[in-house]
Structures are given as structure tokens and as C-alpha cells.
Amino acid sequence: MPRYKLTDKQITRLINLYKNPHIPMDELCKIFKVSDDTILRAMKRKGLPRRVTVGFCGKKNSNWKGGYSLKYAKNVAIRTFKKNECVICGYKIATDVHHWNRNKKNNKPDNLVLLCPNHHREVHLGLIDKEKIIKNL
């Protein structure tokens, strides 16, 4: 018989709160002073399906860390260059976004450039300078 960190009374209360999609997982963790893994294991043992977090974007998502998205930077870069390929070699399968000032929060179009993973690494190692890339734009 598995031991819970929660009493039967707490688990009953947790189940009722867990079913309410408006109560974020981190709030449940604070209320019961357990990790989200403990809550998910308890719900699984009780036969409840895992919570779907679709629609809980940004601060509403329990995984929110107050951050920013590199996907946004990539979308800005693709719109700027009108194509999703390395500006040096034209590689299209995988591209990385390089921030000229190395500030990932600065997603202004003039701070972004699309590079393949190899050229991106070479830029960070100092093997390729900015002038060579600008020449290829």
C-alpha cells in the first residue's frame, strides 16, 4: 500500500480543488505544501485524468516562470527576412535566431539574424564576424 504525504481528508479536498480548472497547479502546491508530482501521482492513483492546460497561456499556465519566448524572436526574424533559412549558406532544415547584442529579450528586427546551427556556433566562437553576415544579407 503506497504512503501518501497527504491524509485521506486532504486528498478528498485536493480532488475537489483539482477538478476546478481555474485553480492553477502552483496554487494547489502551495495550499497542500507538496510538489506538483505528488499531486499528479495522487490524482493518477484515484483514477482522475491529467489536467489539460490548453488555453492557460502566460501567467495563467502553472509552468509560467515570467519569461519570454524565443519562438517569438524566430517569428520576427522570419517575417523580416521573408524566409526561414540561414543567411550565410541557405540551409533550411533547422535555423537558429542570433541576437546581435546577445540580449534574448531584445527582439527588434535589426537585432536578429537567422543562422543554421553550425554558423550560429561559429558566430559565438568568434570565427565569423558581423560584417561577413551583413554582406550576405
Span 14-59, pLDDT tens digits: 999 988 878 888 888 888 888 888 888 888 888 988 876 555 566 6
**Quick one: pLDDT at residue 1?**
43
**Quick one: pLDDT at residue 61?**
63
Q: What is the pLDDT of residues 86-104, one digit of tens each?
A: 999 999 998 999 998 888 8
Q: Are 85 and 114 in contact (CB under 8 A)?
A: yes
**Quick one: pLDDT at residue 66?**
63
Q: Are 109 and 77 in contact (CB under 8 A)?
A: yes
Neighbours of 21 (CB within 10 A): 11
Q: How far is CA 83 from each of CA 46, 111, 118, 122, 137, rounded to the nearest angstrom?
A: 49, 17, 18, 21, 12
DSSP state of 27: H
Q: Where are the domains of the chain?
A: 8-60, 70-136
**Quick one: pLDDT at residue 2?**
52
